[in-house]
Structure 1
Amino acid sequence: MPISETWLLPDGVADVLPEQAQVIETLRREALDFLASRGYQLVYTPFIEYIESLSSLSESNQDLDLATFKVIDQLSGRLLGVRADMTPQVARIDAHVHPQEGVARYCYAGTVLHTKPQGFNTTRAPLQLGAELFGSDSIDADVEMIDVMLNLLNTVNYSEGIHLDLGHVGLFRSLVKHAGLSKAIERHLSDLYQRKALPELAEFTATLNNGQDFYVLGRYASDLDTLESKLSAEIFTDIAFKQAFDALKTTKAEIQARWPNLHIGIDVVELRSYHYHTGLMYAVYAPNRAAPLAQGGRYDGIGEHFGRARPATGFSCDLYALSAGQFETIAVVVAPKGTQADLIQAIQQTRELGFSVVQLLGNDDIQSIPHATHQLVKASGEWTVKQI
């Protein structure tokens, strides 16, 4: 490879320079401190695992399987996967490595790797931060998780103009089961809902058993009151459908009570990761941003792959995306060469004030520190910090 190309990085991978790295690290620390204050215990997970371990989700989510880099372990000859999502790893910890009775709360932050960008203009190596709650199938757990997600965004200064979207895969899933539809028809309906193709949906559902309910679900997906009045009375006799509908209404009411000024939208046919989630789904959006700031949902039974199926709900976000466009000027104080006691003491005191202090080396002068913003100078016998 020509030397002119050796510094180039693969598409979707980038260096993070000091001015943005400082912002990202501040966000990470504030977020993890906040999660710790809410009882979420920090865990670190390995960057690579045997693919059988990481496949706990890929069996039900082909998108995750396709996003996972796979390599051969030179020690064992077995297939390894580079983590594309940390949720299955935390589920493994809860199920097998650190099992505990009752509710368990975990949080994490680390780089994941995707074979392809998961959205427009996104990185292939997000810095994923998230929280998971295991052991409770109560709506209270979902409400807590959504509240934690919103408070975390507020902690890192994302509160103005944000919008919460709520959905529940149980509505569509129980309607499909009630109508006895095939997998092929289920996939086609999911595609129509995702594309918001109402004319096609009307034509296709006209031929289905309970077709009118499928059309109503798409037509009034964002209005629970109208949806309740337009759906057939028969479908509300289905216990699973009724429970999902009531869970969505209750969750919206409880979140609105906690966040009275928050705009909450409903979309009962937002079926992203449909085969992965098992209940409520939620995502937070900011103005002028297409991708969510944070998203999550319920995924009960995730630990079954590791021998311990438990109710679970959680959310995650990309710290790179949260910090996009934010930069921080780093104050750097340049101190002169020397080992005098008063100079060493002045440097120590300046660092204790929160400044970054660089002492000159050898024949260097202040011009050798191009990013310097201040200098430590002695005037009238006292060391003081002056802006350059």
Structure 2
Amino acid sequence: MQSWQLPEHIADILPSTARQLESAKEQLLALFRVHGYELVHPPLMEYSNSLLTHIDAGLALKTIRLVDQISGRQLGIRADITPQVARIDAHLLSANNGINRLCYAGSVLHARPDGFLNTREPLQVGAELYGLAGIEADIELIDLMLKSLQIGEIGDLLLSLGHVGVFRALAGAAELDEKQSAQLLSLMQDKDAAAVHAQVSVWKLDGMWAKAFALLPTLYGGREVLDEAREKLPDLFAVGAALDDLQAVCEAFPRQNVHIDLSELRVDNYHTGLLYAAYGSKCHDAVARGGRYDGLGEYFGRARPATGFSFDLRTFTGRLPRSERLPAIAVAQQDAAQAAEIIAQLRAEGQCVVVDYGIESNASRDINARLVAQDGKWTIVEQA
């Protein structure tokens, strides 16, 4: 094996793709900025106990750990930026008791890829809103998420909605313990109503709760699912509140193609309420995911209502508009010192100026003009 080979699911980003990604990132951050979201840059690594690996088992498995040679304590390389932003809101921005709108764009590192075709180094871009518990906050973030995904050609967008509150209300009413809830959550992911029914039968649950749990994996489809859920699920306040949230989102996006799935519960995540994701007709998996995660900041001393979304910008590779190299203006090496002032001015204006060292085999590409001295002044001469 060559010593310069990269690990599996890790890859270099070459100039043409790097230009596309950086251009898209600039557009996204500009979009976030005009919607009031302030950019933060959390560190790539922290002490592992700050990365909340004890809260989210799935995140713990993704987190790469190592020993800090300075302190001797265990460090973690971030696998998700959202918990870091929750820490910033709860601790560093604790003077603000109102709304904090924060955004970010940076690399994360996974111990294992999420899938066979996934990178272990996603470029995570996202936005989070802290301090507002109402569904209005979720609607704002969903709107921003859908606008963000216009950067690439991913086809028609499908907004997928779920809500953890429905399952939790039923689990609480049926008095399931933590182990039973986790087991049932896992079965829900397979949409196997028969398996769910068999499991609750083993536990000898009351027939009403057994029927409700078996029904959940079948409650997916269009907006009509909400009416069916209201009709067939037990009349619990928390269930009604969750369905009201979903109804409010549907009404906020009347022309958006919507899919509702009441068994989409993300067993490996820290979300507490509404869940949302976006799918493109030209993509095999969700291109963005988000949801409500109230109270995550409690670990850092301040529990706050929170909602947000994120996505891996690298999944858009090949779907972003081309970002061409800047055409270059060449200046001969022997003229560079004398032309330094005009060169600096041109570069300040955003033009690309390169020094031509006269080595034919190593000549710069995309040169469309030259900077030459004519009649005592520097002139840009177009090349044929």
- The verdict on a shared fold, with TM-score over 0.5 as the criterion, is yes
User: What is the aligned partner in structure 1 of residue 41 from structure 2?
Assistant: 44
1:155-198 CA-to-partner distances (Å, cap 9, x unmatched) read x2457411111111111111111122233432333223211223
Distance 1:75 1:85 in 2: 24
Q: Post-superposition shift, 1:221?
A: 2.3
Distance 1:286 1:224 in 2: 19
Call closer, same or farther: CA 1:185–1:232 in 2, change over 3 Å: farther
Q: Which amino acid aligns with 1:249?
A: Q
Distance 1:229 1:10 in 2: 49
Worse-matched range after superposition: 107-116 or 349-358 = 349-358
Unaligned runs of 5+ residues in structure 2 are: none
Q: Is this contact kept in 2: 1:165–1:284, CA < 8 A?
A: yes
> For 2:382, what is the secondary structure of its paired residue?
strand
Call closer, same or farther: CA 1:163–1:141 in 2, change over 3 Å: same
Q: Is this contact kept in 1: 2:131–2:305, CA < 8 A?
A: yes
Matches within 5 A, 1:200-219: 200-205=195-200, 208-209=205-206, 210-219=209-218
Q: Post-superposition shift, 1:267?
A: 1.1
The reply on whether 1:10 has 2:7 as its aligned counterpart is yes
Unaligned runs of 5+ residues in structure 1 are: none
> For 2:272, what is the secondary structure of its paired residue?
coil
User: What is the aligned partner in structure 1 of residue 219 from structure 2?
Assistant: 220
1:282-329 CA-to-partner distances (Å, cap 9, x unmatched) read 111112312222111000001100110000001111121123455543
2:303 to 280, 302, 309: 309
> For 1:289, what is the secondary structure of its paired residue?
coil
Distance 2:23 2:226 in 1: 44
The reply on whether 1:91 has 2:86 as its aligned counterpart is yes
1:35-54 CA-to-partner distances (Å, cap 9, x unmatched) read 11111111111111111211
Q: Which amino acid aligns with 1:265?
A: H
User: What is the aligned partner in structure 2 of residue 147 from structure 1?
Assistant: 143
Call closer, same or farther: CA 1:165–1:232 in 2, change over 3 Å: closer
Q: Is this contact kept in 1: 2:212–2:233, CA < 8 A?
A: no
Call closer, same or farther: CA 1:376–1:275 in 2, change over 3 Å: closer
Call closer, same or farther: CA 1:286–1:360 in 2, change over 3 Å: same
Aligned residue-pair number: 374
Q: Is this contact kept in 2: 1:216–1:231, CA < 8 A?
A: no
Q: Which amino acid aligns with 1:225?
A: E
1:54-76 CA-to-partner distances (Å, cap 9, x unmatched) read 12xx3331010111111111111
Distance 1:189 1:230 in 2: 19
The reply on whether 1:318 has 2:315 as its aligned counterpart is no
Worse-matched range after superposition: 87-96 or 137-146 = 87-96
Question: TM-score if structure 2 supplies the norm length?
Answer: 0.88
Identity %: 37
Distance 1:189 1:284 in 2: 25
User: What is the aligned partner in structure 2 of residue 30 from structure 1?
Assistant: 27
Question: TM-score if structure 1 supplies the norm length?
Answer: 0.87
User: What is the aligned partner in structure 2 of residue 183 from structure 1?
Assistant: 178
CA RMSD for the aligned pairs?
2.7
Q: Is this contact kept in 2: 1:360–1:366, CA < 8 A?
A: no
User: What is the aligned partner in structure 2 of residue 75 from structure 1?
Assistant: 70
User: What is the aligned partner in structure 2 of residue 108 from structure 1?
Assistant: 104
Q: Post-superposition shift, 1:231?
A: 5.6
1:238-264 CA-to-partner distances (Å, cap 9, x unmatched) read 2111111111111111123xxx2x211
Distance 1:340 1:270 in 2: 62
Distance 1:226 1:90 in 2: 34
Q: Is this contact kept in 2: 1:213–1:232, CA < 8 A?
A: no
User: What is the aligned partner in structure 1 of residue 115 from structure 2?
Assistant: 119
Call closer, same or farther: CA 1:318–1:340 in 2, change over 3 Å: closer
Q: Post-superposition shift, 1:222?
A: 2.4
